[in-house]
């Protein structure tokens, strides 16, 4: 085997960037990838990405007490109704747990806000947040959930609650149940043939006559394109 073939084998092999070569022949060096990736993002990943996902998934950020507080809040933000589940039913708190580690700039704000809940519960009711009744919880939530009419002293807590609301929505609408609730019907192979006629009619739109002859016709999607010398499609 000449040098070029050696190099070619070495550099086109399946080894990823995370592995150091220690073996003697290129064949031996193509070690199987370690099975450390269960639970990370699917599809093409670098070894560094797999490693990182795995580490984040194995770490714990929230305490049980914090998880309980968040469980209460996310189900107030997105409760169950007759068409769809609640936020905790689609594991929104687990999603938040991951995001705290994935984007650590969330951590201080989130933890600070969850601590503030106990302060506020103590001031108002002499209890911790997790000991409050539903009505008492709502009383606190109402102080922070309406940014345009919140009292100025709640400004910091309002901004924290905005973050909790945003994360709850992200975690909810990125699930199968969330897609179903929103009525999203994409992400599937199809042949786009324009806006449905009834929707065009409702909004008073008609296709520009000039382009009607050249728009893609779904029935021609199987025919290989042929042009004349002027760039006109002739087949």
Partner 1 sequence: MSFQIKTSGEAYDVIIVGSGAGGGMASKILSEAGLTVAVIEAGGDFDPAKDEDRTQLRPPWESPRRGASTRIRPFGDFDAAIGGWDIDGEPYTHKNGTKFDWFRSRMVGGRTNHWGRISLRFGPNDFKRASIDGLGDDWPIGYDDLKPYYDKVDKLIGVFGSKEGIYNEPDGFFLPPPKPRLHELFLKKGADKANIPMIPGRLSMLTRPINEERGVCFFCRQCNRACQVYADFSSGTCLVHPAMKKGKVDLYTHSMVRKVTTDDNGKATGVSFVHKEDMKEYKLKSRVVVLGASACESARIMMNSKSKSHPNGIGGDSDALGRYLHDSTGSDRMGILPDLIDRERYNEDGVGGMHMYTPWWGDNKKLDFARGYHIEYWGGMTQPAYGTGGSMNSMRQYIKDEFGELSQNGGYGVGMKKDIRRLYGSTLGMSGRGESVPRYDNYCEIDPNVVDKYGIPVLRFNYNWTDQEILQAKHMHETFEEILTNAGATLLGTKPGPETNYGLLDPGKIIHEVGTTRMGKSAKGSVVNSNCQAHDCDNLFVVDAGPFVSQADKNPTWTILALSWRTSDYIVDQLKKKNI
- Site pattern 87..126 for partner 1 (x: CB under 8 A): --------x--xx--xx-----------------------
Which one, 116 or 178, has the nearer CB to partner 1? Answer: 178
Smallest gap from Cβ 166 to partner 1, in A, equals: 4
When binding is defined by CB under 8 A, the residue of 60, 151, 201, 215 that contacts partner 1 is 215
Residue positions counted in the chain: 235
Residue 10 to residue 46: CA distance in whole angstroms: 18
The strand pairing partners of 233, in sequence order, are 227
Q: What is the DSSP letter of 227?
A: B
When binding is defined by CB under 8 A, the residue of 27, 35, 38, 42 that contacts partner 1 is 42
Applying the rule CB under 8 A, the residues between 44 and 83 that interact with partner 1 are 44, 46, 48-49, 53, 56-57, 76-79, 81
Smallest gap from Cβ 227 to partner 1, in A, equals: 5
Residue 41 to residue 181: CA distance in whole angstroms: 24
Smallest gap from Cβ 132 to partner 1, in A, equals: 16
Which one, 125 or 181, has the nearer CB to partner 1? Answer: 181
Q: What DSSP string runs through 102-169?
A: HSGGGHHHHHHHHHHHHHHHHHHHSS-GGG--HHHHHHHHHHHS-TTTS-GGGHHHHHHHHHHHHHHH
How many residues touch partner 1 under the rule CB under 8 A: the total is 100
- Site pattern 173..192 for partner 1 (x: CB under 8 A): xxxx-xx-xxxxxxxxxxxx
Question: Is residue 99 a contact partner of residue 62, using CB atoms and an 8 Å limit?
Answer: no
């Amino acid at each position: 085997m000449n040098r070029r073939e050696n190099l070619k084998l070495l550099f086109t092999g399946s080894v990823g960037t995370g592995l150091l070569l220690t073996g003697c022949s290129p064949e031996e060096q193509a070690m199987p990838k370690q099975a450390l990736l269960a639970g990370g993002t699917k599809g093409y990943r670098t070894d560094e990405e797999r490693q990182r996902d795995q580490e984040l998934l194995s770490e714990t950020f929230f305490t049980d007490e914090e998880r309980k507080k968040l469980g209460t809040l996310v189900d107030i933000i997105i409760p169950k109704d007759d068409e769809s589940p609640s936020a905790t039913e689609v594991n929104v708190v687990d999603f938040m747990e991951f995001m705290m580690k994935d984007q650590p700039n969330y951590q201080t704000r989130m933890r600070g806000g969850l601590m503030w809940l106990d302060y506020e519960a103590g001031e108002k009711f002499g209890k911790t947040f997790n000991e409050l009744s539903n009505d008492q919880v709502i009383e606190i939530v109402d102080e922070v959930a309406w940014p345009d009419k919140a009292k100025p002293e709640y400004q910091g807590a309002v901004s924290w609650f905005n973050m909790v609301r945003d994360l709850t929505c992200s975690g909810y609408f990125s699930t199968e149940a969330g897609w179903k609730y929103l009525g999203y019907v994409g992400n599937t192979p199809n042949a786009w043939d324009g806006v449905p006629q009834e929707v065009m009619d409702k909004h008073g739109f008609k296709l520009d006559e000039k382009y009607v002859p050249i728009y893609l016709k779904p029935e021609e999607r199987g025919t290989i394109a042929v042009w004349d010398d002027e760039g006109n499609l002739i087949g």
